[in-house]
Copies of this chain bind each other. A is one copy, B any other.
Amino acid sequence: MTPSAPQVPTQHPYRFPVAARYAGMESSPLKDIFALAALDGVVSFAGGIPDPELFALEDVTAAYDWVLTHQGHRALQYGVSEGEAELREQAARRLSRDLPTDASQIRVTSGSQEGLFVVAQALLEPADVVLVESPTYLAAVQAFSAHGARVIGVDTDDDGVIPEALEQAIRVHHPRMVYLIPTFQNPTGRTMPVARRQMVADVLQRSDVPLIEDDPYGALSFSGSTWAPIAALPGMGARTILLNSMSKLMSPGVRIGWMRAEGPILDTLAVAKAAISMQSSVVDQLTVARYLEVADLDAHVARVSAVYRARRDAMAAAIAPVLPEGAHVTHPEGGMFLWAALGEGYDAQTMLADAVDAGVAYLPGWSFFADHADRSTMRLSFVTHAPAVIETAIGRLGEVIAAHPRR
């Protein structure tokens, strides 16, 4: 069937209308940075990319096989927005180690990012304030900002967000919610100690502000110690939406995570999830459930953590001597990231071009601040490369830092 000739002449390049939330965002400086970091010959610490050699590929493949063999028709059929029952059971079982959780309190998401977006859809009105750690996870800020929220950073120290600063910020800004990553935080690698968690919980309960607690890294502990989420503290379970992800523990490519909440908000989260993507891949959900049922995720995570720990050690040892006087570097007890603040007079963004020329890349830290960026900061992921590669590359970074004296 051939259509008739058009009655109106075709116009010059058509411009779709673009929502203000994305105006001018066709390309992002971060995209340019990742393109630089991906250049041949560059050792990149920029991304939070797990070493694929550490994936439990055999176990994951066996889980896909089992699901397609035993649950094939169901795996290919529509599921439900809340998530498949088996996966919610497994998620509840894991969470219940710290916080009694029923499968009915779980909502499955396509990774933590979708979880953050679902929360933003469900809770945020334009001009609402969200308080976050300063610095915090960039893509969370994007999910909140996409809903018109004003995202405001709260001061932190090596123990995480400062309770007095949080309470003061709540008093001034009347936030709709507070977003925290208490354990092995992205981007700093810092962990909030138990006493600090309790102080933060007290502030949140006193001020009646809900908590969005993001915990994608908590299981990746180098010391064997783990930290119960703030949601597990008395009174906090009902006022926290707690997000978990399998991306850092099993596979980021499978895109499965979940949220835990209590009460009527669970229904709102399901309605928002349905509007966004109907439901997550049933094949992937059933596969993750099967994997969690039969594979030993704890043993796998322990193996991965041991490797990451050696890499953290290599990076910590290599970077200490090359940092300028007055610089500050974190010492993560788990997770994937180390955070260095070179100190006043340094600009990690302008330094990056020379670093890439020298064959090493990092993520300039400014992008992790919702406001008042410290431009002397950089995030370095220690998980992707072997210790020897890390040592050499950090040595090169040291030369670049030395060639950029404090302005």
Contacts and interface: CB of A to CB of B under 8 A. Distances in A.
Contacts of A28: 271
A52 B282 CA distance: 14
A271 B26 contact: yes
Contact of A111 (B4, B25, B74, B278): B278
A76 B64 contact: no
Given A123-B17, A235-B6, A278 B139 contact: yes
A135 to B, nearest CB: 19
A227 B277 contact: no
B281 A18 contact: no
A234 B114 contact: no
A297 interface: no
A185 B265 CA distance: 34
B19 A265 contact: no
A151 B284 CA distance: 34
Contacts of A239: 14, 16
Interface string A7-45: 111110111111111100111100000000000000000
A362 B147 CA distance: 36
A359 interface: no
Contacts of A254: 76, 281-283
A25 B68 CA distance: 35
A315 B225 CA distance: 63
Contacts of A235: 6, 8-11
Interface string A197-215: 1100110011010100000
A331 interface: no
Interface residues of A, number: 109
A208 to B, nearest CB: 8
A222 interface: no
A179 interface: no
A274 B139 contact: yes
B18 A252 contact: no
Interface string A243-286: 00000001111110000011111011001101111111111100
A142 B233 contact: no
A245 to B, nearest CB: 11
A1 B228 contact: yes
Nearest to A2: B194
A173 interface: no
Given A65-B65, A76-B254, 8 more contacts: A1-B228, A8-B206, A11-B205, A14-B262, A61-B72, A114-B276, A117-B276, A281-B284
Contacts of A388: none
A141 to B, nearest CB: 10
Nearest to A279: B255
A142 B13 contact: no
Nearest to A236: B6
Q: Which 8 residue pairs across A and B have the least CB separation, nearest first?
A: A253-B282, A76-B251, A26-B267, A52-B73, A10-B235, A6-B234, A16-B265, A114-B277
